[in-house]
Amino acid sequence: MSRKETVVHIFKDGERNITACRLDDSENISLNFCLPDIQLTPLHLLNTALGQCLVELTLRFLERRDLRATCLMSICTTVKTTGAVRIDGINITLTLPLQLSPDDKVILIRMLHQCPIHAAITGSVSITLQICDDREAISYYEQNLSSQMSANISHVHTVSDNAIDIRI
């Protein structure tokens, strides 16, 4: 049986209001989902919608416990491509910058099951959810995005310094 995978990685830092996305195995991290439409397939859109919902629920969970509201959500959708194309399964990995207690993990998983997109596809698609802590993965995104944001800020200053005020 032939299969195809589509992966979307969503990073969100609630404290600094930074959101970023990376598709499949790309090295490019796009700030605020600024992705060319040509790259997006319906599976990317499903992964993005599911991921955004789960990320928001995760940030609420972390904020309520006065924990650092930052996470990385990776959603991998596997599709069977022979015969009728069907979603074979969805693997979700939630990466946090800290380790949760077993009780907190259970509560977080219950919260994540409240996502309406997750609820709509549960039962017809096999969904696995894994929660892990990996400070290195989180810092990789933070460093990449910090350099992108400072490049964008310097570009804005360059453009505005040379701007001409025209009034009609």
For residue 76, is it within any domain?
A: yes
H helices, E strands: number in the chain: 4, 6
Q: Which two tokens stand for residue 60?
A: 């609420």
The arithmetic mean of pLDDT across residues 94-120, rounded, is: 95
Range of the domain at 136: 3-150
Percentage of the chain lying above the pLDDT 90 cut: 48
In a domain, 86, yes or no: yes
- Tell me the chain's radius of gyration from C-alpha atoms: 18
Q: 98 burial class (0-12, 13-18, 19+ CB within 10 angstroms)?
A: exposed
* 158 domain residue, yes or no: no
pLDDT at 117 > cutoff 60: yes
The CA angle 60-119-109, to the nearest 5 degrees, is 45
Structural domain contains residue 163? no
In a domain, 50, yes or no: yes
Q: What is the CATH number of the domain that holds 27?
A: 3.30.300.20
| Cα–chain center distance at 142 | 13
Q: pLDDT band for position 159 (50/70/90)? A: very low
